[in-house]
Structure 1
Amino acid sequence: MTTHHRTIEAALARIATGYVFPERTAAIDALLRRQLADGAYDGLDERELCEQVTDDLQKACPDKHLRLLWSEEPQPMDEEPEDVARARFARYAREHNYGVRRVEQLDGNIGHLDLRMIAPAELGGPATAAAMQLLSTTDALVIDLRQCRGGSPAGVQLWCSYFFADDEVHLNDIYDRTTDSVRQYWTLGHLGGPRYLDRPVAVLTSEATFSGGEELAYNLKALARATLVGRTTRGGAHPTARFPVAPHITVTVPTARSINPVTGTNWEAVGVEPDLPTAPEDALTTALEHLRAQLHR
């Protein structure tokens, strides 16, 4: 058995036991094994293998979170201790300011929040509260998710909570295959900063907006709390686990799925559509025009 063959076997085993839609795993298994038998992966280096297998996975099952990832640095094949993984991610989140790239006041007293990731609530809570405190005196707000590529469901819950009056708004449900259970996400009753109520909000999106960034946009749109401006997002709605299958290769396996209580579905494979379709580079200008028109009614 070749190295590539062993890598794909390990990835298929993880997909079979963990993928949130077990009924789809047979088609995935059949396609990758057919590609192996046909020599489709022969002669590829590891990075090329990841790209080709990911493309094949998407053909068998169009799930944007289902993929092989290559890393330049080797990774341990044994499962990383939970405390080590948490400490490593905490450092990463801190180095990226818990996703808050910029908070500013624009002309006309309109706030601008540039959010690049959705940090877990237990890590990002103080940064979230600080950002919302700085924005609390503005008359309208732009949440810029054009470069937000994901994050934590509980972090999304925290951000959403700032835009509703109490803890009685049902935001999202997540079904987990591993436990065969559904977790509900509602707005939070206690927040570290002031809520942003009774003022217009616009959310900027692009083709790069992904996963947790998409959920934030989707929730606010479904609940009619914000106007979305930009392009349809990338379309990844499934919380995902990562498993090393070779020293430089990880398979990402969606183990859960979102179920929005308003729409009954989610944004997987279709993305979140904007209310005002606009080129991403023009989205901020369009959003500001929209918000100023609302303020001057």
Structure 2
Amino acid sequence: MTAITAIPALDTAATTTAVESIAALLAENYVFPDVARDLADLLRRRSSEGAYPAGTAEELADAVTADLRSVNGDLHLALKYHAEPVPEHQGAAVMAEMRRKFDDSLGGVPRVELLDGGVALLELAPHMFPLDWAAQPLTAALSLVAPARALIIDLRRNAGGDPNTVAFVCGYLIDGRTHLQTLLKRQGEVAEQFWTPSFVPGARFGGSKPLYVLTSGDTFSAGEELAYDLQQLKRAEIVGETTRGGAHPREGWTVHPHLELSVPVARGVNAVSGTNWEGTGVRPDVPCDAGDALDRALALATARLMRH
């Protein structure tokens, strides 16, 4: 039996130091400079008022996260608690956690199934993993469903990930090289553009057969982007619930051995709408409870195939 090592509490000095580090990182990196200053001022004021007393790292994470989201509700803003010590390298904590989930989910493709009437179901969860990991399992899964008469992509448990992977998946579902979104940094300069690839390995499902995307109130970030991109291009019908509403790519900084600060450093601009789903979520074309979304989409696909 493995003994659980107790995590020492943060004293007042350590808490104050951590909060000041968080405030400085926000002011320097958050995508909206005006909001960044407001948040930094808020954290420093709350700290001086004693809002963050000595206690556990988990308690501090909860309190700071609530304050970080109190200004504009950005769900990518967070102070994340990790029971295991956080690697010091920037972003390493998130990548280590994602790797564990990748290995436990068949590379992010936990379900591929042929349903009635030649309709295929492809679940992408729990993340859109980094493309250098996910290209092989995604190629296998997307090639397998390519001959289907219609396709349902299940994103109800997808909590986000890599926009490069979103573009890769779209390459199997859209004909021709297509601009999806542009990331803008905090001063408005272009950070990166995302296009569907001109070539994908394996077989394409293509851009004309019926396509449905399932969403839930838990669908987030890059999972939302896949649904939003396909919806804006009028390539797919979105079936299910409005998603969580997080459109800002984030980076992570270690501020304590068990605490990682998540800060959005850019904002996505969709090539069709000129905006994104931040704060609003992706609104479904066919609203229904997430638990009913698969049956609803299958009925829609079956009816459409019968008409043709």
TM-score, with normalisation over the residues of structure 1?
0.93
Aligned to 1:70: 81
Query: For residues 18 and 72 of structure 2, what CA distance do their matches in structure 1 show?
Result: 19
Determine which of 192, 209, 214 is the counterpart of 1:199: 209
Query: For residues 62 and 27 of structure 1, what CA distance do their matches in structure 2 show?
Result: 13
Q: Which amino acid aligns with 1:281?
A: G
Aligned to 1:291: 301
Aligned to 1:125: 135
Determine which of 46, 52, 64 is the counterpart of 1:41: 52
1:98 partnered with 2:110: no
CA RMSD of aligned residues (A): 2.2
Query: For residues 53 and 90 of structure 1, what CA distance do their matches in structure 2 show?
Result: 27
Query: For residues 228 and 110 of structure 1, what CA distance do their matches in structure 2 show?
Result: 16
State the secondary structure of the residue aligned to 2:176: coil
State the secondary structure of the residue aligned to 2:246: coil
Question: Unmatched 5+ residue regions in structure 2?
Answer: 1-11
Among the aligned pairs, what percent are the same residue? 40
The count of residues paired between Structure 1 and Structure 2 equals: 294
Q: How does 1:270-281 map to 2 (within 5 A)?
A: 270-281=280-291
Question: Unmatched 5+ residue regions in structure 1?
Answer: none
Aligned to 1:30: 41
Deviates more, 1:33-42 or 1:233-242: 33-42
Query: For residues 210 and 173 of structure 2, what CA distance do their matches in structure 1 show?
Result: 10
Query: For residues 91 and 213 of structure 2, what CA distance do their matches in structure 1 show?
Result: 37
Determine which of 72, 79, 82 is the counterpart of 1:61: 72
Deviation of 1:50 after TM superposition, in Å, equals 0.9
Deviation of 1:96 after TM superposition, in Å, equals 3.0
Do the aligned partners of 2:143 and 2:205 also contact (CA within 8 Å) in 1?
no
Do the aligned partners of 1:178 and 1:255 also contact (CA within 8 Å) in 2?
no
Query: For residues 285 and 224 of structure 1, what CA distance do their matches in structure 2 show?
Result: 21
Deviation of 1:277 after TM superposition, in Å, equals 0.8
Q: Which amino acid aligns with 1:287?
A: A
Do the aligned partners of 1:231 and 1:280 also contact (CA within 8 Å) in 2?
yes
Deviates more, 1:274-283 or 1:118-127: 118-127
Query: For residues 17 and 188 of structure 1, what CA distance do their matches in structure 2 show?
Result: 34
Query: For residues 182 and 79 of structure 2, what CA distance do their matches in structure 1 show?
Result: 27
Query: For residues 270 and 86 of structure 1, what CA distance do their matches in structure 2 show?
Result: 27
Query: For residues 159 and 105 of structure 2, what CA distance do their matches in structure 1 show?
Result: 13
Do the aligned partners of 1:236 and 1:269 also contact (CA within 8 Å) in 2?
yes
Deviation of 1:86 after TM superposition, in Å, equals 7.1
1:7 partnered with 2:46: no
CA distance 1:80–1:43, change in 2 (3 Å): closer
1:182 partnered with 2:182: no
Deviation of 1:205 after TM superposition, in Å, equals 0.4
CA distance 1:81–1:100, change in 2 (3 Å): closer
State the secondary structure of the residue aligned to 1:151: coil
Aligned to 1:225: 235
1:142 partnered with 2:171: no
TM-score, with normalisation over the residues of structure 2?
0.89
Deviation of 1:225 after TM superposition, in Å, equals 0.5
Aligned to 1:263: 273
Query: For residues 34 and 91 of structure 2, what CA distance do their matches in structure 1 show?
Result: 31
